[in-house]
Amino acid sequence: MTIQWYPGHMHKAQKEIKQALPDIDLIIEVVDARIPYSSANPVIADLAENKGISKPIIKLMNKTDLADPARTAQWCEYLEKQQGVKALPVTAQSPEQVKKVIGLCRRLAPQRTTKELPVRAMIMGIPNVGKSTIINILSQKTIAKVGNEPAVTQRQQRIDLKEGVILFDTPGILWPKIDNTHSSYRLAISGAIKDTALDYEDVAFYAIEYLLKNYQSLLAEHFKLDEHELASYQSESWMALELIGRLRGCLKAGGRIDMDKVCKILIHEYRAGNIGKITLESPAMIEKELIEVAEMLKQKAEKKAARKAGFKKKR
Ligand SMILES: Nc1nc2c(ncn2[C@@H]2O[C@H](COP(=O)(O)OP(=O)(O)O)[C@@H](O)[C@H]2O)c(=O)[nH]1
Ligand SMILES: [Mg+2]
């Protein structure tokens, strides 16, 4: 699956963040706890890795109400191994939990906790991770619009949390990672990608294969399927989709399964959390994929270099 983001926008966001960095004390990066890696912001990862920013980063893992608690714990441990990173699992359903980030900000910037010198925290996140919801909880007001926002650049907002912390909302839209194909699928399954840009069948086939491998019991329980029968579909996951279609009465004229309908059911019920608390990636999966992505990028670069060399020879 290919998703077209706009490198121009990415570059602009990166520039704006870089400009703002000297005047902030730490970064709060909101991610989706179901996809802590795929919903992370590539700009921040790049700035942290290559440009040596030494600001603490709080990974606010939101939507834990939808995520697998065991995997969330694994992710926290994994993320905190990175230099300067603190992970805080939260759900917007528990405002008290979210507000813990204020205390964490103060602890991470002990040099700035007076009224005159408040902690300056920059909050960022790719669309749909719940950044606006979090800002509203922290400010105890409706400052940010929740839900569908048009993809326009807003002006940077400065929000005084009045507890020695000032929140700066990042301008513009931050795009998710794109180099890893698995990430595109997970972003689509989680709902981070607008439905108009997505082929439901393609995404649902990826989802059912993953669910069969990782959360077979939850799948069986939710759709009232026989787990032994499901297990036999491991290598032919489309048959599991057919089975769900038959059970849910997704039929077309002539008794054929309406695959489009089944695919939508699977994705929508996953997003609503109805199938269960399900995380779409683990640190071990990501470690493996990172090696594959690095190899793919290397090959791409080599091909490009070879093409260039060939072109020069011809001239
Ligand atoms: N289940 C669940 N949904 C959430 C949570 N936080 C936000 N949402 C929902 O996620 C969607 C996107 O939230 P929004 O704050 O607009 O995200 P933003 O694009 O990052 O600003 C909205 O439908 C929110 O109601 C959470 O912790 N759990
Ligand atoms: Mg928003």
Q: For residues 203 and 164, state if they share a domain.
A: no
Asked whether residue 59 is domain-assigned, the answer is: yes
Most confident of 157-166, 229-238, 279-288: 279-288
Q: For residues 150 and 219, state if they share a domain.
A: no
With the CA atoms of 109, 110, 116 and 121 taken in that order, what torsion angle do they form, in degrees rounded to the nearest 10? 20
Q: Can you give the pLDDT at residue 170?
A: 78
CB atoms within 10 A of CB 116: 6
The answer, yes or no, to whether residue 8 has pLDDT greater than 70, is no
Who's near 306: CB < 8 A, 6+ residues apart? Answer: none
Asked whether residue 231 is domain-assigned, the answer is: yes
The answer, yes or no, to whether residue 149 has pLDDT greater than 70, is no
Q: Can you give the pLDDT at residue 235?
A: 85
φ, ψ (nearest 5 deg) of residue 31: -125, 165
Mean pLDDT, to the nearest integer, of 133-155?
73
Tell me how far the alpha carbon of residue 221 lies from the centroid of ligand 2, in angstroms. 34
- Protein residue whose Cα sits closest to atom 10 of ligand 1: 130
Q: For residues 164 and 204, state if they share a domain.
A: no
Mean pLDDT, to the nearest integer, of 207-221?
96
* pLDDT-wise least confident of 91-95, 218-222, 229-233, 263-267: 229-233
Ligand 1 pocket mutation, candidates 28, 128, 138, criterion most atoms within 8 A of CB: 128
Q: How far apart are CA 188 and CA 184, in angstroms?
A: 6
User: Is the separation of the CB atoms in 88 and 61 below 8 Å?
Assistant: yes
* pLDDT-wise least confident of 16-20, 210-214, 229-233: 16-20
Tell me how far the alpha carbon of residue 139 lies from the centroid of ligand 1, in angstroms. 16
Counted domains in the chain: 2
Q: For residues 164 and 207, state if they share a domain.
A: no
- Answer with the residue of higher pLDDT: 282 or 179: 282
Mean pLDDT, to the nearest integer, of 175-203?
83
Q: For residues 18 and 120, state if they share a domain.
A: yes
Residue 230 belongs to domain spanning = 199-271
Q: How far apart are CA 95 and CA 45, in angstroms?
A: 28
Q: Can you give the pLDDT at residue 153?
A: 43
253-to-11, 194, 266 alpha-carbon distances in Å: 50, 30, 21
Asked whether residue 176 is domain-assigned, the answer is: no
Q: For residues 64 and 162, state if they share a domain.
A: yes
CATH number of domain containing 95: 3.40.50.300
Percent of the chain with pLDDT over 90: 62
Asked whether residue 193 is domain-assigned, the answer is: no
- Answer with the residue of higher pLDDT: 91 or 4: 91
Mean pLDDT, to the nearest integer, of 236-257?
94
CB atoms within 10 A of CB 57: 25
Tokens encoding 261: 């309908």
Asked whether residue 302 is domain-assigned, the answer is: no
Q: Can you give the pLDDT at residue 156?
A: 56
Asked whether residue 69 is domain-assigned, the answer is: yes
The answer, yes or no, to whether residue 162 has pLDDT greater than 50, is yes
Q: For residues 159 and 100, state if they share a domain.
A: yes
304-to-2, 4, 297, 309 alpha-carbon distances in Å: 20, 21, 11, 9
What are the pLDDT digits (tens) for 70-128? Answer: 999 999 999 999 888 999 999 999 999 999 999 999 999 999 977 789 999 999 998 89
User: What residues are in contact with ligand 1 under a 6 Å CB criterion?
Assistant: 62-63, 65-66, 91-93, 125, 127-133, 146-147
Q: Can you give the pLDDT at residue 151?
A: 44
Question: Last residue of some domain: 271, 288, 305?
Answer: 271
Asked whether residue 289 is domain-assigned, the answer is: no
Q: For residues 147 and 232, state if they share a domain.
A: no
Question: Last residue of some domain: 127, 148, 169?
Answer: 169
The answer, yes or no, to whether residue 245 has pLDDT greater than 70, is yes
User: What mean pLDDT value characterizes the chain?
Assistant: 88
Asked whether residue 298 is domain-assigned, the answer is: no
CATH number of domain containing 250: 1.10.1580.10
Question: Last residue of some domain: 150, 169, 188?
Answer: 169
Please give the number of the atom of ligand 1 that sits closest to the Cα of 145: 16
Q: How far apart are CA 199 and CA 250, in angstroms?
A: 18
Q: For residues 13 and 143, state if they share a domain.
A: yes
The answer, yes or no, to whether residue 139 has pLDDT greater than 70, is yes
Name the DSSP letter for residue 93.
T
- Protein residue whose Cα sits closest to atom 19 of ligand 1: 128
User: Is the separation of the CB atoms in 189 and 207 below 8 Å?
Assistant: yes
Q: For residues 210 and 67, state if they share a domain.
A: no
Mean pLDDT, to the nearest integer, of 5-28?
78
Q: For residues 260 and 150, state if they share a domain.
A: no
Neighbours of ion ligand 2 (CB under 5 A): 132
Percent of the chain with pLDDT over 70: 87
Q: Can you give the pLDDT at residue 50?
A: 57
239-to-217, 233, 277 alpha-carbon distances in Å: 17, 6, 23
Q: What is the DSSP string of 94-153?
A: -HHHHHHHHHHHHHH-TT--SSSS-EEEEEE--TTSSHHHHHHHHHTS--S--S---S-P
Q: For residues 231 and 114, state if they share a domain.
A: no
